[in-house]
Amino acid sequence: MILAVLNHDYHYETENMCRIFFPNEKINLVYERGNYNENNVVETEIDGGIISVSCDINGRHSERKTDASAVENKELETGRLLYACLSEITGCVPPWGVLTGVRPSKLRTKCIREYGEDEAKRRFEENLLVSTLKTNLAASVSKTESEILSLSKPDSFSLYVSVPFCPSRCSYCSFVSHSITTPAARKLVPEYLDKLCEELEQFGKIASQLKLKIESIYFGGGTPSVLESSQLDRLCSQIENSFDLSTLREYTVECGRPDTITLPKLRALRFHNVGRISINPQTFSQTVLDSIGRQHTVEQTLSAYRLARSAGFECVNMDLIAGLTGDTVENFKESIDTAVTLAPENITVHSLALKRSSELAQSGADVEDGDRAVRMLDYAQNKLSGSGYIPYYMYRQSKCVGNLENVGWSLPGRECLYNVFMMEECHTVFAAGAGAVTKLKEPNGDYIERIFNFKYPYEYISRFDELTDRKESIIDFYREHI
């Protein structure tokens, strides 16, 4: 596809709008009109006070024009015209309208603060072309997030612990994780844990020196429960020895894969006061599980859930994904219904995002028409809200089927605090392990600085001293910004 950006600099907005409708199309930007030698061409232009958009896609044509002097925001209006043209050509009406940002609920909060509830709603629906269902969803998330964010203080921080190992790699996964079944990955684990414990100790000293108060802990990956119970015990013990946990509000371990969950592991976590875990089926259809390389059964999910309850876990999350290969709307509805029947405290509903590094993308698979995923998420929203769940956090990803969203649903009062703290970047997050990114948040402002760890475990181990050196900047950051 050729995207011509003529006499304006809104290339980022127009390219993102094209990606909403054609997420896997290669888009070539040009800045002069000419012989494009391409069947699919989108032209966007501001000339003589007129904003114009012309689209020729697969033999279909659509165009729109408007007087630039009559609009307040030319960039937004260009996006609106392009949205109208592409909707006409494709027959697709993405429910988030011209919104392309990662955090629509944050924008909704900003609009409410500036204009009030009614005007914020009007701007979402009329200016940004967001559907009423998604407008209401953003408003609900905004309300719950605001209550959680009030818990965060200038001296707050959270801790993220990366365990980048899995029992196997799912076809849709783009995370930096290694299959623990390979000899090379297994060999790395002991030394990786040594370095991880050392890094946790370093962060503990920094937190103590700065008199920071820990709010939440989150083990992610990968699949943290791929570790043995003794290894989980060691990590949790290291955290207890390194940090003052007297202010800790929440402790989560994302167990994830049901086939990694055993009673000894659950008991080890409960012994260290881990209060929240994730058991992620992704789907309750065995056929779909097989097609995505999940390598566990539906029964193993149900068994792991029962085991967690028997071990005393009173806050459990389950992830489901809309738009998986081979899934149908009816099967997805059954998955949602099954999850609701089990009644975990949290149910997170993701939309499939086909990232470049995933097996699906590398095999040439394509993101399907988003209509199916739209119907899946509409059902999830109606079913979950009608079953006592409230949406408490939301984010969006690039190359997401249907330009849709990921939403965390919770029973009232059982929201995952870390998810909100992390997504809304309200305080510092110290992140330990391979692929982890520490985010330093200015205590009384919005400025954020990032410190990146090496992505791969072998790099993390071999270049660990460099990470230690990078941490020296944390004290300087706080001295400068307090």
Sequence-distant (6+) residues with CB within 8 A of 455 are: 176, 434, 435
Confidence bin at 302 (pLDDT 50/70/90): very high
Tell me the per-residue pLDDT of 61-83, one tens digit each, with 9 for 90 and over. Answer: 999 999 999 898 999 999 999 99
pLDDT of residue 172: 55
Quote the strand ranges of 357-412, DSSP E.
390-395, 406-410
Highest-confidence segment of 21-25, 106-110, 279-283, 395-399: 279-283
Q: Where are the alpha helices (DSSP H) in 363-403?
A: 371-386
Residue 243 CA, chain-centre distance (Å), reads 27
Tell me the per-residue pLDDT of 130-141, one tens digit each, with 9 for 90 and over. Answer: 999 999 999 999
Tell me the per-residue pLDDT of 215-246, one tens digit each, with 9 for 90 and over. Answer: 999 999 889 999 999 999 999 999 999 999 99
Q: Higher model confidence: residue 265 or residue 20?
A: 265
Q: Is 341 helix (H, G, I), strand (E, B) or coil?
A: helix
Q: Peptide bond preceding 101: is omega within 30 degrees of 0, i.e. cis?
A: no
Confidence bin at 452 (pLDDT 50/70/90): very high
Task: Please determine, for residue 102, whether its predicted confidence score (pLDDT) is greater than 70.
Answer: yes
Task: Please determine, for residue 362, whether its predicted confidence score (pLDDT) is greater than 90.
Answer: no
pLDDT of residue 314: 96
What are the chain's domains? 2-90 (3.30.160), 104-148 (no CATH), 151-469 (3.30.750.200)
Q: Write out the two tokens for 252.
A: 């989560």
Q: DSSP letters of 286-305? A: HHHHHHTT----HHHHHHHH
Tell me the per-residue pLDDT of 400-428, one tens digit each, with 9 for 90 and over. Answer: 777 899 999 999 999 999 999 999 999 99
pLDDT of residue 301: 96
pLDDT of residue 354: 64
Stated pTM of the model: 0.90
422/414 Cα distance (integer angstroms)? 17
Task: Please determine, for residue 304, whether its predicted confidence score (pLDDT) is greater than 70.
Answer: yes
Strand partners, 64: 53
389/335 Cα distance (integer angstroms)? 16
